[in-house]
A and B are shown apart, each in its own frame.
With several copies, the nearest count.
Chain A
C-alpha cells in the first residue's frame, strides 16, 4: 500500500529514525540549543562539544517524527570532527537538497545524508529535516533557541 513513500521512508532513514545512535548528551558538551517547530510541536535539543574550530562531538534529544530524528542522527554523525565552517556549508547544502532533491557537489559527507533528499517531494516535511540543523547552528552561534517554520 505504501510503496510510494518508500523513497522517504527508506531503510537508512527508518533505522536512524527508530534507533538513533546520537540521541544523548555528549560528555562535557560546551554548547546547546533548542529548535522548535511551533506548528507541529516538534522539538530538538542539540548539544556539542567543541575542540578549537571544530565540533568534536554532537548529540541530541528530541521529540518528533521519524524524519526529524533521522535527520538529527545523521547530522550528528556528519558533523563529528568537522571544522565549523564546513558544518555551516553542509547545513546550507542539506537545506538545498531537502528543497530540491538535488545534491550539488555531493562529497562523501553529503552522500551519507542523501537519503534525506527524498523529502523534497513532501514540502511540509522539509522543516523536519532542517530543524536539527537550525538548532545546531544556534548552538554554535551561542544562541539558546531557534525555530523552523
Chain B
C-alpha cells in the first residue's frame, strides 16, 4: 500500500479522500491491493450512492406515480428528483426531456425504434463512425435490415480521430436523417469535437445523437452548447448503479416520436380499442421504473458535481500525460490512437504477448484491465489489431497505480520474450 498512498494528494483534488469514499478500493486480490483500471467498462460505487439506495429501501420505498400514500409520494419525489439532477448535469433545457432507460443500449434502441422506425423513411440514411461501441452500431444495422434505411460509416484517421472531411462527404446528398456518433471512444479515449459534428449534421439537415457513455464521466457536458438533438449515457459508468440509463432529446422530437414500449405509466386513457399516451417523458417510461437505481444515480451525480468537472478533468489530464509517458517507454508496446483531445482510456498491444495473456498476468498482481475488442469489433479491424488490452481510469485512479501498471507490464514483457 505504500506505493499506492504516495503522491496522492494533488493540488486541489484529494484523491485519497475520494478513494476513502469507495469501499471496494480497499479490497485485496490474492493478497495484493486492487488496482482497478477497468472503469471504462463499469465504475465502482462511492459510499453516498450505496447509502442512498440502502436508505431508500430501509426507510422510504413504494411504487411511484400511482400512490396517494406517504411512502409513494416520498418515493415519487426522490425518483423525479433525479430528472432535475440529470437535467442540471448535462444542462438540458427542461427536466421533462429526461427519459430513464435501463442503460445506454436501451436509450439508443429506443431512438432506433421510435425515431428510426417511427419518423425516418426508407431511403434515408443513418451515419455512424468507425469507432462506435456495438451499442451504437447494431441497433442501426437492425433498423437498416428491417426498414430499408441505409447505414453509412464515417472514417476515423490513423490517429484515431473522426475524419471530418469523410463525415461531410457522407452528408452532402442530404439523405442522412441522423448522425449517431460517440462523444468519447471507449477504446481510444478520443474526444470527438461534438460542436463541429452537430453543426455539420445540421448544415445538411440531419439530427445528431451523441453516445455520451464515456464522455459524461470525464467531461462537463452541455447539450445546449453542443447543440445536440439526442444525448444518451449510462449510470453505471458514472459511479452510479446498474440498471439505469438516460436519454435526453429535444422536446419536439420526443413529442413527435411514437412510444417504444407499452404498459403502465406511459398511457393516457386505455380502452381495448385505443389508448392515448402520457405526456413526455412518461410516454417513454413503460412499467415500474428503476426507482432505487434512479435514486442512486442522483447521489452519483451529486457526488461528481461536488468534486467538480474542472478538478476531474485536470486530474485525468495529469493521469493521461503520465500514463502515455510511462506506457510509450515500454519497448514493443503500442498505444492505440493518438488523438489531440483524449481521456483516460488506453488500449495497447504488446509485441510477442497476446492481450489475454497480459490481462491474466496483470490480474494475478491485482491489476484489473480488460482484453479483447472492447465491444467495438469493427474498430479493431480498422486498426489492424485482433485484440488489445485496455487500462482506463476513474476519479479514484492514482499516478501510483499507473506506475504499478507500467512496472508490471515491463515484467510481463520479460515473461513473454
A residues sitting closer than 8 Å to B (CB atoms) are 1-2, 4-5, 8-9, 36, 38-43, 63-68, 122-125, 128, 147, 149
Contacts and interface: CB of A to CB of B under 8 A. Distances in A.
B360 to A, nearest CB: 6
Contacts of B65: 39
A38 B278 contact: yes
B411 A8 contact: no
Contacts of A124: 67-68, 72-73, 76
B70 to A, nearest CB: 10
A2 B361 contact: yes
Contact of B364 (A5, A36, A38): A5
B377 interface: yes
A149 B282 contact: yes
Contacts of B279: 147, 149
Contacts of B76: 124
B73 A41 contact: no
Contacts of B411: 1-2
Choose among B68, B267, B411 the residue with the greatest number of A CB atoms under 10 Å from its CB. B68
A149 B269 CA distance: 12
* Chain B binding surface, main DSSP class: mixed
Interface string B390-417: 0000000000000000001001100100
Size range of the interface on B? 35 or more
7 contacts: A1-B415, A2-B412, A38-B270, A41-B387, A67-B356, A68-B356, A122-B360
A95 B411 CA distance: 31
Interface of B: 30, 65-68, 72-73, 76-77, 267-270, 276, 278-279, 282, 354-357, 360-361, 364-365, 371-373, 377, 380, 386-387, 408, 411-412, 415
A92 B296 CA distance: 34
A66 B387 CA distance: 13
Given A36-B268, A68-B356, A123-B73, 14 more contacts: A38-B269, A38-B276, A38-B278, A40-B373, A41-B373, A42-B386, A42-B387, A63-B386, A64-B354, A67-B356, A124-B72, A125-B356, A128-B356, A147-B278
Nearest to B375: A39
Given A64-B354, A65-B356, A39 B361 contact: no
B267 A125 contact: no
Contacts of A65: 354-357
Contacts of A39: 65-66, 372
B360 A1 contact: no
Contacts of A1: 365, 408, 411, 415
B72 A40 contact: no
Contacts of A8: 360
A2 B415 contact: yes
